[in-house]
A and B are shown apart, each in its own frame.
Chain A
Amino acid sequence: NAGVTQTPKFRVLKTGQSMTLLCAQDMNHEYMYWYRQDPGMGLRLIHYSVGEGTTAKGEVPDGYNVSRLKKQNFLLGLESAAPSQTSVYFCASSYEEGQGEAFFGQGTRLTVV
């Protein structure tokens, strides 16, 4: 049971480049989330999804887009990367609202130069 898998684990981008981060979960969870964590800070919610085909904005959505075409996958896109998007990105999934334990991936370390 792999749980939550994030791809890639590390990436360096040049300013203006685009990329997509993939989050995959094999637990049939309805809810999926993308967070960013800057050094010494807590996690901030970027976007989330309450089910296949749905997405919603979190606390810091600007500069990012997401898609949830399949229940098991949640993609985070950066159309034109900026140095301010240098961060560690975490994905999470949860089975149900309120009670469900959330499982987190190991993170993607992104550097934009």
Chain B
Amino acid sequence: DAKTTQPNSMESNEEEPVHLPCNHSTISGTDYIHWYRQLPSQGPEYVIHGLTSNVNNRMASLAIAEDRKSSTLILHRATLRDAAVYYCILRDFLNRDDKIIFGKGTRLHILP
């Protein structure tokens, strides 16, 4: 399984943009890049995913490097509610044995 590397923690000020990086240098051509987040005392929730092109949804944007070896989750205007652990995960769309493996993620602290 391809692995991802994320910083252990990051801080950001409320109402400012946040850029959460993820390195995945061994990514394969059939791996989707997924992001999930886990708010305190809750189960993880889906944020966004993409393959090659940048993606936007109501929660965030995903910027994928041209060589796909890294990606960045962008929260355009952080709120206190965005304080959570963010996980970057690779999932192979051609692999029927699709295990969703979590790393340690990045703990995002939002400063008021």
Q: How many residues of chain B get a CB closer than 8 Å to chain A's CBs?
A: 28
In chain B, residues 46-67, which have Cβ atoms closer than 8 Å to a Cβ of chain A? 46, 49
Q: Which chain B positions have C-beta within 8 A of A50? A: 96-98
Question: Is A45 touching B95 in the complex (CB atoms < 8 A)?
Answer: no
Q: How many residues of chain A get a CB closer than 8 Å to chain B's CBs?
A: 27
Chain A nearest Cβ from B105, distance in angstroms: 6
Contact partner of A104 (CB less than 8 A), chosen from B34, B43, B91, B104, is B43
Which residues from chain B sit less than 8 Å from chain A, CB to CB? 30-32, 34, 36, 42-46, 49, 85, 87, 91-105
Which residues from chain A sit less than 8 Å from chain B, CB to CB? 31, 33, 35, 41-45, 48, 50, 56, 58-59, 90, 92, 94, 96-99, 101-107
| 29 intermolecular pairs with C-beta atoms under 8 Å apart | A31-B98, A33-B99, A35-B102, A41-B104, A42-B85, A42-B103, A45-B99, A45-B100, A45-B101, A45-B102, A50-B96, A56-B99, A58-B99, A90-B44, A92-B43, A97-B93, A98-B31, A98-B32, A98-B93, A99-B32, A99-B49, A99-B91, A101-B49, A102-B46, A102-B100, A103-B46, A104-B43, A105-B43, A106-B42
